[in-house]
Structure 1
Amino acid sequence: MQKFAWRARIVPGSEAEYIRRHDEIWPEMTAVLNEAGIHNYSIWLSGLDLFGYYECADIDLATRVQGSSLVVARWNEYMKDILIMDFDPETGTTPPLKQVFEHR
């Protein structure tokens, strides 16, 4: 299983809206995550900082599926007014964080 972590920030004052939108995540968005082989996806909030983490069998497949998905593009458009996030111009996805420690 491969791991992927990302970070972003919420626009100040948008914390409740960010949570609401994820409480009402679109079924077609979860279908894309399933198609990409993504499991154990969680997002953590600290102040305005977000940390996302998921596991998948093939990170290249997960990146390709998400980067080419019209649903993901629509979700990103929907979220852009409340989310500050960098995207990799080559993949269309957020750059991964570098793992520096793991305890098993």
Structure 2
Amino acid sequence: MVESIALHTRLKPGTEEAYADAHAHIPAELVTALKEAGVRNWRIWRSGLDLFHVVDVDNYQKMRHALADHPANVPWQASMAELLEVQDDYSGEDAGIQKVWELP
């Protein structure tokens, strides 16, 4: 069963263009690592400085653990850390944003 996980991150002011540009050029090895870790899809929306992610993944905690020290993810996370005030926690212990409601 695929999980849909919502996440929230926040950009540092003035980094909107750099963030969009980085995501226009995702490294192929990162895409491969995400897919190998069970990510089916990852979508990001931006409202001002707030970023909202929806990740469709086989097992969220397993994916986080698999990517925490992955050689394709570590440099990507370092570059994102320069752009984000609030960023994802790759400990694998989080569960994303709590779902309140879903259309039955």
The two structures have a TM-score, normalised by structure 2, of 0.86
The answer as to whether partners of 2:5 and 2:97 remain within 8 angstroms in 1 is yes
Q: Report the CA distance between 1:85 and its aligned residue.
A: 2.2
Q: Report the CA distance between 1:63 and its aligned residue.
A: 1.7
The answer as to whether partners of 2:9 and 2:86 remain within 8 angstroms in 1 is yes
Q: Which residue of 2 aligns with 1:50?
A: 51
* Unaligned 5+ runs, structure 2: none
Range with bigger deviation, 68-77 or 40-49: 68-77
Q: Which residue of 2 aligns with 1:101?
A: 101
The root-mean-square deviation of aligned C-alpha atoms, in Å, is 2.0
1:13-71 Cα shifts (integer Å, max 9, x gaps): 11111000000111111011101110121000000000111111222321221223122
Moved over 2 A (4+): 85-89, 92-95
Distance 1:26-1:44 versus aligned 2 partners, 3 A rule: same
* Unaligned 5+ runs, structure 1: none
The two structures have a TM-score, normalised by structure 1, of 0.86
- Residues of 2 paired with 1:8 and 1:2: CA distance? 19
The answer as to whether partners of 2:44 and 2:53 remain within 8 angstroms in 1 is yes
Range with bigger deviation, 17-26 or 4-13: 4-13
